[in-house]
Amino acid sequence: MISKEMLRLGTAKSVIRELFSYGLQRAQEIGPENVLDFSLGNPSVPAPKIVQDTMIDIIKNNDPMVYHGYSSSQGHNGCRKAIAENLNKRFNTGYSLNDLFMTCGAAASLNIVFKALTASSDDEIVVLAPYFPEYKVFIEGQGAKMKLVPARNDMKLNLDGIKEAVNKNTKALLINSPNNPSGVVYTKEEIKKLTDYLKEKEKELGNVIYLIADEPYRELVFSGEPVPFIPHYYDDTIICYSWSKSLSLPGERIGYVLVNNKCNENEVVMAAVGGAARALGYVCAPTLFQLVIEKCVNIEPDLTVYKKNRDILYSGLIEMGYNVAKPDGAFYLFIEAPNGDPELFSEKAKAYDMLVVPGTGFGSKTHVRLSYCVDTEKCEKALPIFEKLIKEFK
Ligand code: PLP
């Protein structure tokens, strides 16, 4: 007998993957230039050339036993030290390598943190809709419950909803800014209000409530305003980070968990992070890429294409009368389906060979997600289709 739950997960349909496969099939039939595939969040800007140069340099000038070998479970000292120094310079913090655990991307970071924090099946992790669909799989997979806070219409942080959701079983609140799927970035004021509330609630309940910040899109912001650094507002913060999006390295599986050094019992939490990584078999993140990150940690992403695509689509859609949350970061737009039915809207768009994902899997019954990590030409070609669609529905 095998696990029914794992069988269910392994055979469940993924709308995003199905749309993506459909797009590949249509590309063979009508040519890739004619399929406007906005389904996947795979970066379209190549990794900066210095990343490849660094890889080549490491391979040419180092012992293969080092770059192909295991690192320590938590990661190479040099890599963790370089990351700590980078964070200290940017955010005026006092981190050391001991505050960091290297992982195989943000997905591994999240699983590790959920496992490290979950002590009982009553434990709840509060998640804000709209959300990255894998959160539910990860949280439940690590034995906790996901408590969902509904989205506000403008996709901003729903503090009233959070207040209703937090209770004595709340282990952590998970936030993701810049957000997938909405592109929304929470402001300093929103973070301040949230963390003031969490501090009060920790006192009232006599429990630690961790704030988990899932930040693979931290550097992808267009407003010039940096994304608020959560540990400045709240001590009990744990950050899950990866270079999948910022350096366009999703296939290299490299990221980290940062346990804030002012977090309650931070050394104990870090030890549990190590234990969770061990139990999951997620120790020793890819060595070659730890060595690459050590050298490339200060490289900033080139946002030119994403910003151009965002501007073309956002202003075009707003002008046509679409309701779109203001996307200051990441590479997604969350668009309200003009007929209120995201499945039907996605189907109709598909008939024009334009692929957008219904928001249902992201916890929305009203919106579709568009990933604009594509060639700019495709964003330009999409506008007349959106125009036709809004006219069809009105
Ligand atoms: N969190 C969010 C919000 C994401 O959008 C993604 C990937 O798309 C992940 C985590 C997982 O990222 P990684 O590739 O680093 O595992």
Q: Does residue 380 register a pLDDT over 80?
A: yes
Closest CA to 133 of 218, 268, 16, 233: 16
> What value does the mean pLDDT take over residues 98-123?
98
Domain with CATH 3.40.640.10 in the chain: 69-296
Question: Which pLDDT belongs to residue 14?
Answer: 84
Section 170-176 average pLDDT: 98
- CB-based contact 71:284 (threshold 8 Å): yes
Q: Ligand 1: which residues within 6 Å by Cβ?
A: 41, 105-107, 132, 176, 180, 214, 216, 242, 244, 250, 255
What's the CA-to-centroid distance between 135 and ligand 1, angstroms? 10
Give me ligand 1 centre to Cα 180, in Å: 9
- Does pTM top 0.75 for this prediction? yes
| Mutate-to-test residue for ligand 1 from 42, 132, 135, 215, highest number of ligand atoms within 8 A of CB | 132
Residue linked to tokens 């630690």 = 208
Give the residue among 30, 1, 45 at the shortest CA–CA distance from 306: 45
**Cβ–Cβ < 8 Å for 68, 284:** no
Q: Which are the contacts of 254, defined by CB distance < 8 A and separation ≥ 6? A: 102, 103, 104, 105, 242, 243, 244, 285, 286, 289, 290, 292, 293
Is pLDDT at 326 greater than 90 in this prediction?
no
- CATH class for the domain made up of 69-296: alpha beta
In the chain, CATH 3.90.1150.10 covers 4-48+302-393
213 close to 227: Cβ distance less than 8 angstroms: no
322 Cα: distance to centroid of ligand 1 (angstroms): 27
Quote the CA–CA distance of 384 and 387 in Å, as a whole number.
5
Q: Is the peptide bond before 178 cis (omega within 30 degrees of 0)?
A: yes
Give the C-alpha separation, 212 to 240, whole Å: 7
pLDDT in tens, 203-218: 999 999 999 999 999 9
Share of residues in the chain with pLDDT > 90 (%): 95
The CATH number of the domain covering residues in 4-48+302-393: 3.90.1150.10
